[in-house]
Amino acid sequence: MTLHTADLLVCTTCRSAAPVNPLATPDPELRAGAELAAALLQDPPEGLRIIPVECLSNCARGCTIALRKPGAWTYVYGNLTPEVHLPDIIEGARKYRDADAGLVPWRERPEHFRKNCIARIPPLEAPNV
């Protein structure tokens, strides 16, 4: 049994800024967010729980994901496409999983994460929250 130390939430209702590749899925009407969730669920990185969710309210900025874990900052990233950003998502999620309090040094994040962070949310346990 794999111990999940972090959650990767994937918006399944997101539409990609780029057209969905109709050859990548059996259903060409599948939204890009659902396609991204399906790709991540095929081979989830160890220690990460992939959670498909409906609407992360970032509709104008392509596919959106969020990374969270207990006692850590939560990050929301957008402008993702399944065909291009899957390796960046996996790399960034692994680094987040392994980082104390979820704080991956900025220069160590995948470039797409550096340029497309939508929100950074403090842990529930943070003082003064």
**Domain-located, residue 126:** no
Please count the structural domains in the chain. Answer: 1
**Domain-located, residue 127:** no
Q: Residue 33 is part of a domain; what is its CATH number?
A: 3.40.30.10
**Domain-located, residue 104:** yes
Query: Three-state SS for 120?
Result: strand
pLDDT in tens, 52-111: 999 999 988 889 999 999 999 999 999 999 889 999 999 999 999 999 999 999 999 999
Domain span holding position 53: 6-121
Cross-sheet strand order for the sheet of 6-11: 48-53, 6-11, 63-68, 74-80, 117-121
Chain center to CA of 40: 9
**Domain-located, residue 128:** no
**Domain-located, residue 77:** yes
Specify the pLDDT at position 30.
Answer: 73
User: For the chain, what is the total number of helices (H) and then of strands (E)?
Assistant: 3, 5
